[in-house]
């Protein structure tokens, strides 16, 4: 499973990238707004840090404008993937973008039907917001499982991207469900490293090693 970082914070992205386990980055308008920085500048800085798909979202809601805006944003860097909201106008825009060689991340997907249509339209990625589904009392992971199965049944090239991840167990479950990618907030990535037995075990090894007589040669 590929791991993307779900943030627009370049310090966090730099740190995560230094661990060598980051395949890409996803941003959205809310994550960019948190940084209080120019959109183009922040996206280009992310492209400099991570050599992989970098999702940047357009905010237009009419297909023609979406295509124009997407072309502009995609021209900034070859690794940019355009996040298109799953609305009929977005679905209309996706094949037009694909024809221009522009990759898309169909976002705000909450159902298997939406995932099916995102694939039929030719989306490169389909982002299933599983945490927001869980928040609403639904089983978000079930939609990830359904999308994986539907794409496999028909050989769709669209990748299932497990998004809106809230905790490390979501990552494990997404991997078990066969999601192609999990986009993970920095805090959750940090949590994935942690296990009390690792810390206790390392401390014991280091303490014991300190007792071993050291040769001077």
Tokens 């298109």 identify what position? 84
Q: Are 195 and 203 within 8 A, CB to CB?
A: no
Number of residues that bind ligand G3P (CB under 6 A): 9
Q: Site map for ligand G3P, 178-197, x if CB under 6 A?
A: -----x--------------
Query: Under the criterion CB under 6 A, does residue 4 sit at the interface with ligand G3P?
Result: no
Query: Under the criterion CB under 6 A, does residue 104 sit at the interface with ligand G3P?
Result: no
The reply to whether 2 belongs to the active site is no
Q: Are 85 and 30 within 8 A, CB to CB?
A: no
209, 187, 136, 192: which is closest to 7 by C-alpha? Answer: 187
> Which of 70, 74, 164, 177 lies at the binding interface for ligand G3P (CB under 6 A)?
164
Nearer to ligand G3P, 158 or 164 (CB): 164
Query: CB 168 → ligand G3P: shortest distance, Å?
Result: 14
Q: Are 114 and 144 within 8 A, CB to CB?
A: no
Catalytic position from the list 71, 83, 120, 159 = 83
Q: Is 107 helix (H, G, I), strand (E, B) or coil?
A: strand
Query: CB 215 → ligand G3P: shortest distance, Å?
Result: 53
Angle between helices 88-99 and 112-121 (to 10 degrees): 30
Query: Under the criterion CB under 6 A, does residue 26 sit at the interface with ligand G3P?
Result: yes
Query: Under the criterion CB under 6 A, does residue 6 sit at the interface with ligand G3P?
Result: yes
CA distances from 132 to 143, 162, 166, 178 (A): 12, 11, 9, 20
Residue 34, both tokens: 């948190």
Nearer to ligand G3P, 122 or 140 (CB): 140
Query: Under the criterion CB under 6 A, does residue 114 sit at the interface with ligand G3P?
Result: no
Q: Which stretch binds ligand G3P (CB under 6 A): 58-66, 117-125, 128-136, 168-176?
A: 128-136
Q: How far apart are CA 130 and CA 27, in angstroms?
A: 16
Q: How far apart are CA 29 and CA 81, in angstroms?
A: 14
Catalytic residue annotation: 83
Chain residues in the site for ligand G3P (CB under 6 A)? 6, 26, 28, 129, 131-132, 163-164, 183
């Amino acid at each position: 499973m590929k791991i993307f970082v779900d943030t627009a914070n370049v310090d966090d992205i730099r740190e995560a990238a230094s661990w060598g386990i980051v395949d890409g980055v996803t941003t959205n308008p809310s994550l960019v707004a948190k940084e209080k920085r120019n959109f183009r500048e922040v996206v280009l800085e992310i492209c400099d840090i991570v050599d992989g798909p970098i999702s940047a979202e357009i905010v237009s809601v009419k297909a023609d404008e979406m295509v124009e805006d997407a072309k502009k944003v995609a021209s900034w860097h070859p690794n940019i993937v355009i996040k298109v909201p799953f609305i009929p106008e977005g679905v209309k825009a996706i094949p037009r973008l694909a024809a221009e060689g522009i990759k898309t991340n169909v976002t705000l997907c909450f159902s298997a039907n939406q995932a099916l249509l995102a694939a039929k339209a030719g989306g490169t990625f389909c982002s299933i917001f599983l945490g927001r589904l869980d928040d609403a009392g639904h089983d978000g992971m079930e939609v990830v499982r359904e999308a994986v199965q539907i794409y496999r049944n028909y050989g769709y090239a669209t990748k299932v991207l497990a998004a809106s991840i809230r905790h490390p167990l979501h990552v494990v479950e997404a991997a078990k469900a066969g999601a192609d990618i999990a986009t993970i907030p920095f805090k959750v990535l940090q949590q994935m490293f942690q296990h009390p037995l690792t810390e206790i075990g390392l401390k014991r090894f280091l303490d014991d090693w300190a007792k071993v007589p050291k040769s001077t040669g």
